[in-house]
Structure formats: structure tokens, C-alpha cells
């Protein structure tokens, strides 16, 4: 198991390139690909572009030329994850059942399951964005397209080998087929682009398909350490503001959009975040050594309400399936590279008109037309693993309500 969940991919990398080529060559299949937020700021390095170059448009163009039928951004599902996670956190916080751990890094999940099983109930039951995306694709995509479900093949381009292991876990499928059929690492995608003879740096910029719509800036920052926490605090802050001022909320100043104190490369950050009347104790850790320090802090009696752990140094921008940090450029350290990649994600976020996940129009439509509310029975079935525990009052405030907190307003 540890081979499959190795966060840095140092031990082995089970290749799926041949399987994906076969699916793409089969004229009877419809192949959907999703790409994790970090891929757009790491892929270009493998083709001689500057570290942290934003190649979102060329990434999409390359995937189309490889033959994928739909090219979609996982970032949309990151927004969905945040809405579910924010409401789950608030429900547990209200009931005094913290600490609450983020759950989108499969190597962190495995660490807790193997070494700290008493904390399993503290893990969010939210599936990762990749897994939520896979579940929605399997359950609904074929209906919207009028396709036989067995003919839809779901592929994900991810920053790490641990995502291959995550996709194969039994909770992410119906027992006969996983929700995500194949996971490619960034490096495997590089090899496919080279095998196809595509001149990546000369590709035009193209846009993602819109089956699941656009993502907000909050969805993009998932790829950097602290990003999941910051995105969740944005929506948490909105829900708390809404709860405190149910009548005058629209006229109230928008809740904070940036939490810069939890960004950066410090291995373990402990902070108090003031959200309205609430003083929320948060911890952000990256790297397995710092994950252990968080657990030690809890064991020593430290009060922490909300904990984000990403197993790779720097988060997914430093994932084991990314282009090798530094390559032949010995003048830069791996830290420089991770900085550049993370800065590029924060830059994408800062230029988005929508920066709160609950403002994502497609997420709102999904709740309106299919899911109902965060934590609804269908949301639990599709978007959570098991053991959902949030019963607080906050789910009463719907993400469908007008919030008036669109960034830039
Ligand atoms: Fe994978 Fe990101 Fe976790 Fe690393 S931090 S193991 S890249 S999900």
C-alpha cells in the first residue's frame, strides 16, 4: 500500500498511458479528461517554458489534439468541494466536534488511516475534487449527452501517483467500475504529447469545454499549500456573515477574500483567524514530517479547529508526478520552483472576477437542479465517502442566496 500512496512517486509509478491511448483510439468510446489546478502552471516547464508559466490554453489545445472528446477543469469540482467542506466544517464546529481535517490529499488520508486511526472520524468526509468530478461524470454526464454510460471513459491528469491509488479505492465507484477510469501524472501527459509529435510551445491557446462550466479563483489555489484552507475560509466567512446578519447581509461589507497569513512555504503554520465573532484556530502543514508535528501538537493539547495537510512539499505544485523540480538548472532550488508555481496559481486567482466557491454559477445550478443543499442525501451519496456528521444550523443558509460578495464589487 505504501508504494501506491507514496506522495513523491519515488518508489514506482504505475503507468496508464497505454490504456489511455487505447481508449482514445476506440471510435465507440467518448473520453472525458479533467485536469487538476496545478497542471496549468507546471506542464510548460517540460517544454522549455519558464517555471510557473501559465499554459492553461496550450494544455487544453494539447489534450484536444491527443483526441480527448471533452477537456474539463477539475477546478470546478474544487469549488464544489469547498462548498460541501465549508458547511461540513461549520456544522461540526458548532457542535464542538473539532479538529476537522481536510481530505483532498490521498497520501494524508493514508497516513491517518495507517498511523493515527483514532483521528479517522476527524477527517472530512468530502471526496477530493478529482473524485467528486468523477462521480458527477459517471452519474450525470452521459445523461446530458445521450450516451450509453458504459461508453464514457473518465481520465484525470493529476500531480501525483497517489491519485492513481485514490481512484482505485472502493468508495470511488460502484463496485464494478471506478468513477475515474485512468489517472495520468503530469509527466505521463508530457510523454503522450511528445509521442504524438505535438509542438507544445507553438500550440494556440484554447478554452476548456463547458460541460461543468467555469471555476472561481478559489478553485485554482487548491494546488498550493494553504489553498484549500483559504478557499474554505472564504465561503465559511460568507456563511457566518449571512448567519449573523440575515436581513442586512446584502448591504454588509463583503467578507474577506484573501487570508495571506496562511500562504507560503513555512512547513507548519498555526494561526487564529477571526471570522465575525468566531476565533477559529487553524493549522496548515505540508510534507509528512509536518503532518506528524500537527498530530503531536494535538496530542500535546493544542486547540486546533481546522487543519489542512498536503503530503507533498509546497502542496500539489510540488507533487511527485510533476516535472522534476529544477531539471538541469542547478542555480535554482526546489523551493524557488515551488514558489514560482504557487505564485502563478495565486495570480490566476487574483485576476478572476469570481473568487468565492459558492459564487460559482455552475455550482449554484447544480444545487438548484440536482443536489438541493450542501450535505443533502444526494450530496452525501455522490460527493462524500461515509460517516457524514454535520448536523449544525448552518446548512440552513443556502449557497443559492444572493451574497453580494462578488470580488471586485
Ligand atoms: Fe498528491 Fe497533492 Fe497530496 Fe502530493 S499534496 S500526494 S500531489 S494530492
pLDDT, tens digit, 9 for 90 and up, residues 11-35: 456 789 999 999 999 999 999 999 9
Same domain, 277 and 174: no
Residue 276 gets the label, from left (phi > 0), alpha (psi -120 to 50) or beta, of: left
> Residue 261's pLDDT is what?
83
State the pTM of this model: 0.89
| CA distance linking residue 138 with residue 152, whole number of Å | 8
List, in sequence order, every residue forming a beta bridge with 155; answer none if it has no partner: 33, 182
Query: Domain range holding 244?
Result: 77-126+217-316+335-383
pLDDT tens, 155-166? 999 999 999 999
* Nearest atom (ligand 1) to Cα of 319: 7
Question: What's the chain's length in residues?
Answer: 409
Which of 2, 42, 310, 322 should be mutated for ligand 1, with most atoms under 8 A from CB? 310
| CA distance linking residue 32 with residue 24, whole number of Å | 10
Same domain, 275 and 308: yes
Same domain, 159 and 282: no
Q: Which residues form the pocket of ligand 1, taking CB atoms under 6 Å from any ligand atom?
A: 7, 105, 107, 159-160, 162-163, 310-312, 315-316, 319
Using only C-alpha atoms, the chain has a radius of gyration, in whole angstroms, of 20
Same domain, 172 and 196: yes
> Residue 333's pLDDT is what?
57
Tell me the ipTM for this assembly.
Answer: 0.99
In a domain, 210, yes or no: no
Using CA positions, which residue lies closest to atom 1 of ligand 1? 160
| CA distance linking residue 103 with residue 290, whole number of Å | 16
Mean pLDDT of 290-315: 94
DSSP string, 274-339: EETTEEEEEEEEESHHHHHHHHHHHHTT---SEEEEESSTTGGGG-TTSSPTTTT-TTS-HHHHHH
Return the C-alpha cell found at 365.
Answer: 445550478
Of 205, 207, 209, 257, nearest in space to 234 by CA = 257
Q: Which of these is catalytic: 38, 316, 390, 403?
A: 316
Q: In angstroms, what is the span from residue 402 Cα to ligand 1's centroid?
A: 34
In a domain, 162, yes or no: yes
Known active-site residue 166:
yes
Using CA positions, which residue lies closest to atom 8 of ligand 1? 105
Using CA positions, which residue lies closest to atom 6 of ligand 1? 7
> Residue 199's pLDDT is what?
97
Mean pLDDT of 295-323: 92
Same domain, 110 and 81: yes
Q: In angstroms, what is the span from residue 229 Cα to ligand 1's centroid?
A: 15
Lowest mean pLDDT among 101-110, 186-195, 221-230, 260-269: 260-269
Task: Identify the residue with better confidence: 333 or 183.
Answer: 183
Task: Identify the residue with better confidence: 157 or 171.
Answer: 157
Q: In angstroms, what is the span from residue 105 Cα to ligand 1's centroid?
A: 5
Q: Which of these is catalytic: 95, 171, 296, 302?
A: 171
Q: Percent of the chain scored above 70 by pLDDT?
A: 85
Known active-site residue 316:
yes
| CA distance linking residue 5 with residue 388, whole number of Å | 24
Mean pLDDT of 231-259: 72
| CA distance linking residue 87 with residue 374, whole number of Å | 7
Mean pLDDT of 240-244: 73
Which of 77, 107, 169 should be mutated for ligand 1, with most atoms under 8 A from CB? 107
Mean pLDDT of 96-106: 93
H-state helical runs in 36-151: 56-66, 75-94, 106-115, 129-136, 142-145
| CATH number (domain holding residue 340) | 3.40.950.10
Is there a contact between 160 and 297 (Cβ–Cβ < 8 Å)?
no
| CA distance linking residue 259 with residue 231, whole number of Å | 9
Q: Which residues contact 258 (CB under 8 A, 6 or more apart)?
A: 230
| CA distance linking residue 148 with residue 155, whole number of Å | 17
Burial of 149 per CB tally in 10 Å (0-12, 13-18, 19+): exposed
> Residue 70's pLDDT is what?
95
> Residue 5's pLDDT is what?
47
* Residue 380 clears pLDDT 80, i.e. is over it: yes
> Residue 327's pLDDT is what?
53
Same domain, 226 and 375: yes
Residue 68 gets the label, from left (phi > 0), alpha (psi -120 to 50) or beta, of: beta
Known active-site residue 124:
yes
| CATH number (domain holding residue 68) | 3.40.50.1780
In a domain, 346, yes or no: yes
The total number of structural domains in the chain stands at 2
In a domain, 265, yes or no: yes
Would you place residue 94 in the very low, low, confident or very high pLDDT band (cuts 50, 70, 90)?
Answer: confident
Q: In angstroms, what is the span from residue 160 Cα to ligand 1's centroid?
A: 6
Same domain, 50 and 68: yes
Amino acid at each position: 500500500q505504501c508504494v501506491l500512496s507514496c506522495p513523491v512517486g519515488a518508489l514506482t509509478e504505475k503507468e496508464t498511458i497505454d490504456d489511455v491511448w487505447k481508449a482514445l483510439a476506440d471510435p465507440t468510446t467518448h473520453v472525458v479528461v479533467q485536469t487538476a489546478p496545478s497542471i496549468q502552471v507546471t506542464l510548460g516547464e517540460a517544454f522549455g517554458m519558464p517555471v510557473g508559466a501559465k499554459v492553461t490554453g496550450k494544455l487544453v489545445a494539447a489534450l484536444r489534439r491527443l483526441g480527448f472528446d471533452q477537456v474539463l477543469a477539475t477546478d470546478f469540482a474544487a469549488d464544489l468541494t469547498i462548498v460541501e467542506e465549508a458547511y461540513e466544517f461549520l456544522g461540526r464546529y458548532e457542535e464542538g466536534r473539532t479538529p476537522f481535517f481536510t481530505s483532498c490529499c490521498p497520501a494524508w488520508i493514508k497516513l491517518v488511516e495507517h498511523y493515527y486511526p483514532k483521528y479517522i472520524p476527524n477527517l472530512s468526509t468530502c471526496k477530493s475534487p478529482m473524485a467528486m468530478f468523477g462521480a458527477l461524470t459517471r452519474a450525470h454526464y452521459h445523461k446530458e449527452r445521450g450516451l450509453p454510460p458504459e461508453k464514457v471513459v473518465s481520465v484525470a491528469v493529476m500531480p501525483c501517483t497517489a491519485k492513481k491509488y485514490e481512484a482505485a479505492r472502493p468508495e470511488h465507484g460502484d463496485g464494478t467500475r471506478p468513477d475515474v477510469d485512468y489517472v495520468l501524472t503530469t509527466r505521463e501527459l508530457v510523454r503522450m504529447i511528445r509521442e504524438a509529435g505535438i509542438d507544445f510551445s507553438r500550440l494556440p491557446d484554447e478554452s476548456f469545454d463547458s460541460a461543468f462550466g467555469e471555476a472561481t479563483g478559489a478553485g485554482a489555489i487548491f494546488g498550493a499549500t494553504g489553498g484549500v484552507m483559504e478557499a474554505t475560509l472564504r465561503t465559511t466567512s460568507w456563511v457566518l456573515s449571512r448567519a449573523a446578519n440575515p436581513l442586512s447581509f446584502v448591504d454588509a461589507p463583503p467578507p474577506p477574500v484573501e487570508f495571506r497569513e496562511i500562504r507560503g512555504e513555512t512547513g507548519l503554520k498555526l494561526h487564529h483567524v477571526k471570522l465575525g465573532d468566531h476565533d477559529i484556530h487553524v493549522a496548515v502543514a505540508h510534507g509528512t514530517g509536518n503532518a506528524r508535528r500537527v498530530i503531536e501538537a494535538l496530542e500535546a493539547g493544542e486547540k486546533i479547529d481546522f487543519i489542512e495537510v498536503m503530503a507533498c512539499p509546497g502542496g500539489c505544485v510540488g507533487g511527485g508526478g510533476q516535472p522534476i523540480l529544477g531539471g538541469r538548472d542547478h542555480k535554482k532550488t526546489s523551493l524557488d520552483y515551488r514558489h514560482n508555481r504557487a505564485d502563478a496559481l495565486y495570480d490566476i486567482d487574483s485576476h478572476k472576477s469570481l473568487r468565492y466557491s459558492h459564487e460559482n454559477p455552475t455550482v449554484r445550478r447544480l444545487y438548484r437542479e440536482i443536489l438541493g443543499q450542501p450535505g443533502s442525501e444526494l450530496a452525501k451519496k455522490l460527493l462524500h465517502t461515509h460517516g457524514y456528521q454535520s448536523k449544525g444550523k448552518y446548512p440552513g443558509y443556502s449557497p443559492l442566496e444572493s451574497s453580494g460578495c462578488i470580488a471586485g464589487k
